[in-house]
Every structure is written in structure tokens, then in C-alpha cells.
A and B are shown apart, each in its own frame.
Chain A
Amino acid sequence: MLETLLQPLQYPFMLRGMAAAVLVGIVCAVLGAYVVLRGMAFFGDALAHAILPGLAVGYLVGGGAREPLFWWALGTAVVTSLGIGAVSRNARIKEDTSIGIIFAGMFALGIALISSVRSYTVDLAHFLFGDVLGVGSQDLLLTAIFGGLVLLVVFLFYKEFMVLAFDPVLAATLRLPARLLDNILIVLIAVAIVVSLQTVGVALMVAMLVTPAATAFLLTRRLWKMMGLAALIAALSAVVGLYLSYYLNVASGAAIVLTCTAVFLLVWAATSLNRRVRAVAR
């Protein structure tokens, strides 16, 4: 048993991958509490996909070098997130429609750019589904720095984000700078997506934002507890997912997301059953 657990850890790439996956899981889960409570799942999914053209341009400009990609992705994510925010404020077009337009357009642009390179399939797969075992020391450092920054800002604006999520009218009557706080939250989501890129890729990114947070939502009654439990679930799912990936030889990002999904389904079934039993007992 111990042998089974320790064997994968003798590889440095496995250790780095695990550290990155746990870190990313925690950051996304904490931020994901707001994504779940404010109904921003589609926005998060769209934003992750919309990063692709930025990655593609960085990839083409850098001649395939991996290091600059982080910054290309970050720039694209921040610009796109604020762009979607601005378009969403247009009263005529509904928010999910404008997100859909920008998201699909950007994603198509990314695929078009990448497909112009001859041997694109392997690299495209890395962008789409992640490559956690390819995480280098430099990547891990950037993930830790930017992930830490996201957590710090979430901590600093805890009460403001909570008021905005629960009651925007109260935020307005208390004269909180709602537009600014919304933009900060959007940029945080953008940063979280970028640091998660190598772990799960753009296609599965939204799961890291919503699944652990939704699981914790079913089990807790206070916001900070929801965030803490979501972080714990995400970190454990990252570790379990990576072991499954190692022994079953499946893609690591998919394994992590499937573990999160399995935990959610278990908790959902248990809480639903519990409610039924209580209703009957009454």
C-alpha cells in the first residue's frame, strides 16, 4: 500500500505536478465560491476558452517556447474578461448571449491560429486538456505567486464580495464601489484560470471553479466554511486524481476533474437522501 503511494513520488515531475494541482485546486475552489453563488459558471467557462488565441499568438511568436505563454495567457484573460464585462453592460444584448458570442469567436480564432502550424495537434491537446506533468519549477513558482495573490485579494475584500453576492442593492445603498469590485472579481477569475491552464487545460477549467465549491455549498451554512471545505475537497481531488492518472494511465486533467465530479455526486446523493429521510420522519 505504502509502496503504491510512494512510487509515483520518486519522479520530480510528479511531485511538481501534484504541488501545482493542489495549489490550483485550492485557489479555484475558494474563488469558485463566488462563481457558484453569483451564477458565473458560464462566464468562467467562456473566459477559459477565450484565452486560446492569446496562447496561440504567444506560441507562434515565441516559436514554440513554453515560458512566455503564461504572460500571453494572463494578458488575454484580463483583456477579454474586462471586455466581456463591458459588453455585458449593454442593455440590449443579454449577458449570456454576449458571453457566447465573444467566447466562441475567440476560441475559433485560437484554433484557426494554432491550426496554421503544421504539427498542431499535440500542442493543441496540451492547451485544451492541460499537461500537469510538464509543469516546470518556473511554472510552479508563478502558480504559487499568482495563486497566492488571488487568495490574498479574496481575503481582503471578503465582506465586500459577500455583500455583492448576497444583495447588490445593499451594496449600492452602502455606497460600495460595485463596478470596481465586480471588475476585481473578474480579473481574479482570469488569473485563476491562467494559473490552472497547465493543470486541467481550457476545456475542463470550469470544473475546478464550480465543482468543489458546489460540493461545499451542499454541506455548509457559512461562506468562509464553504470556501475552506471547497479548498479541502479540491486539494484531495487533485492528489487522488493524479494517482488515478498514474496507475490507470488516463489524462491527468480529466482524472482530477472526474474525481471532483465523483465527490460532488456522492455528496449530492447523500444530502438528497438525508433530506428525503428527514421529510419522511416528519
Chain B
Amino acid sequence: MTFLDRSRNPKLTFLAHPHPHSPDKPILKVEGLTVEYDSGAALDNLDFMLQRGERLAVVGPNGAGKSTLFKVIAGILRPSRGLVEVAGHEPGGHICIAYVPQRTQVDWNFPATVADVVMMGRAGKLGLLRWPTTHDWKLVRQALATVRLLDLADRQIQQLSGGQQQRMFIARALAQEAELILMDEPLTGLDSRAQEELFSVLDMLHEQGVTVMVALHDLKIAGERFDRVMLLNRHLVGIGSAETVLDPAHLVDAYGSHLRLLPGTDGTLALGDSCCDDGDHDHA
């Protein structure tokens, strides 16, 4: 990433007073969302809604537009057409939306401790020219305790394991007082124990009413661990329970010839997603 690259955030406005929330409105409402790049449509006419505290898995092949969708919801990319509302207002005015980056997008050599990175989440609430108070440090410690990283608060970030790194970013989202957390491929490269720890943190977020959207490659985990599944391939193939969305007709629609349907031992289908092991290649 070049240091002056703002071409993807055409409208970044600074707001001293972030949008208020309308409690009667859904946390996320998307209508007719279309994003077009020079190379064609990255997202085509998406409609869906998310309720507070919901856990949504977003699956689809490479280039399906998952990252683009997240950028639009985070308010850092303007859609070509359509409506996106977070708690009743357009996303660009919120500071309650957190984006958890893929681990490969982060410079782990950066001179910062775990607590420093979590404190970065407070920068929006603090405002310009303000320094963190004891209240802010207390929130940071609480966030670290929630993701069970308090004893590693003073470590340099490179010393964390993959799962700990993901939990640190969730703590940063908590310090940000985020109500909608977007996670891009958080399970990539984590062993099953680290994945379990991550899911127990996601359960805790669910109890606190935080809404979570997670981009995933693993369809089995998407079906088992999330309230709803969204199947995306530039257009919305389906959204709902895993049984209704992840049926063979939908999957062939989304993955096309890359998909291998294998008969499972107990009559269900095991899904070989052979095309998607090398990271996300969205046009974004």
C-alpha cells in the first residue's frame, strides 16, 4: 500500500459528531447496492438486512466481491448505486463500524505493543489533539480481558500467535465501541484450537449484542457456526440458514465449475472448494 493512496476512498470527510443511532432501525440495511469498477460490476444489486447481534458468514469464490462489500459497509468506498444504512444512517458518518484486516495486510514489525494497537481503536472517540485518559486505558484493559489477552498487553505485536493477533484486533474493535464488526478471512492460517478460541470470543460478542460479518472460505464452518450464511458471487446468490443457502444448485451458481460435490459419509455433501486456497483476489 502506497502512503498516499486515497484513490479508493473518494469521499473521506471528517466528522466531529458521528451519526446518532436510530434504535428502531436495523443495524445494517442494504438495498440495490451496486459497485462498478472499470473492469465491470464488482457487486450487482444486493439486497439484505442484518439485525443487532446477528452473526453472518459471507462465503463465495475469489473475486465474489466480499472485500468490496466490506469496504462499502465500512464507509471507505462509495457504491455506484443503491442504499446502505447502518443503524438508519449512511455508513460514512459512523465510527461504530470496525474492520478487522487479514493478518497478511498488517506490518507486524511496527513498533507497538498489543495495548498500543488496541488503544488505536480509541482514536476516533477521543478526537483530534486529545490524549488517552485513564478511562480510555481502562476500556483498553477491559477489551483485552474480554479476548483473554490481558497478560500479553505489553508484548510487541510480532510476538503474538496468529489466533492472538486476530483476538487483538477484536479487542481493538471493542475499544472502538464498535457495534458492527467486519472480519476478513479471520480463520486463515489458524489451527483448530485457535479457531475455537476465536469462536468463543465471537459468542461473547453475540451476547453483548455486537453484530458480526465474517468472510470465510470454509463452507462447513459457515454453516455450523453462524446464524445465517450469505452466498455471494457479485450478485447475491442466497442469504438465510445454511440448509437453504448452501444447496447444490446455489453452490454451482456461485462457484461454477470450480466446485466439486463429493458424497459424504452421512448422506450430506462435502464441498471441495479447490479454487480458493490462495487468498482473496477481489478487484478492490
Contacts and interface: CB of A to CB of B under 8 A. Distances in A.
A176 to B, nearest CB: 7
Interface in A170-194: 170-180, 182
A166 B110 contact: yes
A173 B101 CA distance: 12
Interface string A139-171: 000000000000000001101101101111111
Nearest to B76: A172
Nearest to A162: B120
A173 B4 contact: no
Contacts of B163: none
B272 interface: no
A177 to B, nearest CB: 4
A172 B14 contact: no
B204 interface: no
Nearest to A223: B111
Interface string B60-96: 0000000000000011100000000000000011110
Contacts of A276: none
B128 A160 contact: yes
B49 interface: no
Contact of A223 (B14, B105, B112): B112
Given A175-B18, A177-B14, A220-B111, A182 B120 contact: no
Contact of B4 (A95, A169, A217): A95
A221 B111 contact: yes
Contacts of B262: none
B2 interface: yes
Interface stretch (B5-13, B50-58, B141-149, B248-256): B5-13
Contacts of B12: 172, 175, 177-179
Interface residues of B, number: 47
A170 B2 CA distance: 15
Given A170-B120, A174-B124, A180 B76 contact: no
- Chain A interface residue bracket vs B: 35 or more
Given A217-B111, A222-B112, A178 B6 contact: yes
Contacts, number: 121
Contacts of A165: 110
Contacts of B261: none
Contacts of A169: 74, 76, 99, 101, 105
A159 B98 contact: no
A261 interface: no
A175 B112 contact: no
Given A177-B14, A221-B113, A163 B123 contact: yes
A223 B112 CA distance: 6
Contacts of A174: 95, 121, 123-124, 176
Interface of B: 1-7, 9, 12-15, 18, 74-76, 92-95, 97-99, 101, 105-107, 109-113, 116-117, 119-121, 123-124, 126, 128-129, 131-132, 156, 172, 176
Which 9 residue pairs of A and B lie closest in terms of their CB atoms, listed nearest first?
A: A174-B124, A177-B14, A221-B156, A172-B76, A88-B4, A38-B3, A226-B111, A95-B2, A91-B7
Interface of A: 37-40, 43, 85, 88-89, 91, 94-95, 156-157, 159-160, 162-163, 165-180, 182, 217, 220-223, 225-226
24 contacts: A37-B111, A89-B5, A89-B6, A95-B3, A157-B128, A159-B126, A160-B123, A162-B116, A163-B120, A167-B120, A169-B101, A170-B99, A172-B9, A172-B75, A173-B76, A173-B98, A174-B124, A175-B13, A175-B14, A175-B75, A176-B14, A182-B6, A217-B109, A222-B156
